[in-house]
Structure 1
Amino acid sequence: MDLFSALLSTGDDEYLSRGERRAIRALLADDPITPQARAAVRRQLIDAVGKRVRDPRDRKLITWLGDVLALIDADAGSSSSPEARAWFGPDDGLADILVTSLAAAQESIDAAVFTITDDRVAGTLLARHRSGVRVRILTDNDKAWDKGSDIRRLAAQGIPVVMDHTPHHFHHKFAVLDGRRLLNGSYNWTRSGDRYNHENLMLTTDPRLVGKYVKAFEEMWVELGPPQVL
């Protein structure tokens, strides 16, 4: 049985037992996988869970997903060191780094952001969406209606957008690219955030960190969803 099938079978009861954990660890020990294969399995699992989750109150599947992702990420060896880089604005040109990173995504972009008002960023998201990359956006409901916000334009072009309608702000600024690269920092996706503010942006491919953000995004997507028509 291949790794994806073995992992998926543990979700039949939406619970990862100790025995199943031992079996998966043994499978990974007998047949180690490359970082690329690990990322592909992660993407397959996320897609499989996304097809099964219908009720926003159903959190057991998401918990199971996080458990199995942590299990395969824990097997990540030290032979291939993860990428880790950091930049600081306004001197480093954070928008250029963000746009270049988004444009390099080949499979998916999951963005959790407070706001988007920089047309260069919005244009890149739209271009990747039109090229077949799956783009999803989680954002703050109040900021979506600000003058200059690109959220409604992106939603109108078919990009799924889920807004936080709680009384509190949705203040994240991260994106997971292709399920294996994480962009995160204080930097808002705005022109002022790029040109004037003292901000930071970091990128990592560390599977342990990426997996945590993948899980967080999926949990919020279910909890705050479904996508809204703006």
Structure 2
Amino acid sequence: MDFAELDRTLRESVADLTLDAQEKFELRELGAKLPADRVRYLRNRAFDMARELMLAQPSQTPQTLDSLRWLEQVVKTLDAVAEPPALVSSAFFAPGDACLRKLRELCRSAKRRLEVCVYTISDDRLSEEILACHKRGLEVRVISDNDKRYDEGSDVPRMIELGVPLRLDDSPYHMHHKFALFDGRVLANGSFNWTRSATTSNEENLVVTDDANLVRSFSGHFEALWDKFGR
């Protein structure tokens, strides 16, 4: 969207000096899609338009107040979009079901895609969450270790049978990661294996974060492994 279109969007809003619910929604949606320089442009143009209205009829106090209210609503709406979300990081530990509960919660709240990169998957409660995401139409991809596929209780063969895109390392060494990405914005990583014993017996940890740098780094590594094991 070029600057002329952005200008037109604001002028349509300022025509009646009100920013109704639909216009707020559209402005938020627009602001969320725009780069920072265009959001700044929108904010600056809103100030220019309010100033123009007040200078055009300086003696009309009601219009001046309406102009200021409209400007305040525009700025607040754009600022809400521009503000970076608060960084959230949490740690969970096992034995106990804290790690299990968090992973299930993250799977159920995923809206678009799920990427799982874990050494072994044998806890039915977690494999069912992966399958549920697949059935809901999410983009699901799983990477696991080729040796663990043949362990008693492994859920890897079942997921392959049910059509979950899954790749296994083909080296004499282990693909030993234990991380997952949810919608490309949340990372779960730690020692926690997706097994029953990880919940009932082992000393394990799971860190969940939306740190954009970490998410980007792990996402890039997932893609590298996915390509590597797809040859």
Scaled by the length of structure 2, what TM-score is found? 0.65
SS in 2 for 1:31: helix
**What one-letter code is carried by the residue in structure 2 that aligns with 1:80?**
P
The residue that corresponds to 2:191 in the other structure is 186
The residue that corresponds to 2:214 in the other structure is 209
1:121 aligns with 2:118: no
User: How far does residue 32 in structure 1 lie from its aligned partner after superposition?
Assistant: 5.7
CA contact (8 A) 1:93 1:195 kept: no
The residue that corresponds to 1:57 in the other structure is none
1:56-78 CA-to-partner distances (Å, cap 9, x unmatched) read xxxxxxxxxxxxxxxxxxxxx87
User: How far does residue 86 in structure 1 lie from its aligned partner after superposition?
Assistant: 0.6
Q: Which runs of 5+ in 2 are unaligned?
A: 3-33, 41-81
CA contact (8 A) 1:110 1:176 kept: yes
Q: Which residue of the other structure, out of 216, 219, 225, is the alignment partner of 1:220? A: 225
Distance 1:32 1:168 in 2: 49
User: How far does residue 80 in structure 1 lie from its aligned partner after superposition?
Assistant: 2.4
Distance 2:158 2:97 in 1: 28
1:20-57 CA-to-partner distances (Å, cap 9, x unmatched) read xxxxxxx9441369xxxxxxxxxxxxxxxxxxxxxxxx
The residue that corresponds to 2:37 in the other structure is 30
**What one-letter code is carried by the residue in structure 2 that aligns with 1:129?**
H
* C-alpha spacing 1:112/1:32, structure 2 compared with 1 (3 Å): farther
SS in 1 for 2:121: coil
Scaled by the length of structure 1, what TM-score is found? 0.65
Q: Which residue of the other structure, out of 111, 117, 123, is the alignment partner of 1:112? A: 117
User: How far does residue 164 in structure 1 lie from its aligned partner after superposition?
Assistant: 0.3
For CA contacts below 8 A with separation 6 or more, give which structure has more relative contact order.
Answer: 1
CA RMSD in angstroms, aligned pairs only: 2.0
Count of matched residue positions in the alignment of Structure 1 and Structure 2: 159
The residue that corresponds to 1:64 in the other structure is none
Distance 1:167 1:117 in 2: 21
Distance 1:201 1:165 in 2: 27
1:197 aligns with 2:214: no
Q: Which residue of the other structure, out of 96, 104, 114, is the alignment partner of 1:99? A: 104
**What one-letter code is carried by the residue in structure 2 that aligns with 1:184?**
N
The residue that corresponds to 1:9 in the other structure is none
Distance 2:228 2:137 in 1: 26
The residue that corresponds to 1:151 in the other structure is 156
SS in 1 for 2:189: strand
Percentage identity across aligned positions?
A: 42
User: How far does residue 224 in structure 1 lie from its aligned partner after superposition?
Assistant: 1.1
1:86 aligns with 2:91: yes
* C-alpha spacing 1:224/1:99, structure 2 compared with 1 (3 Å): same
User: How far does residue 93 in structure 1 lie from its aligned partner after superposition?
Assistant: 2.5
Larger radius of gyration: 2
Distance 1:164 1:30 in 2: 44
The residue that corresponds to 2:49 in the other structure is none
1:123-154 CA-to-partner distances (Å, cap 9, x unmatched) read 11101100101110011000011110000101
The residue that corresponds to 2:173 in the other structure is 168
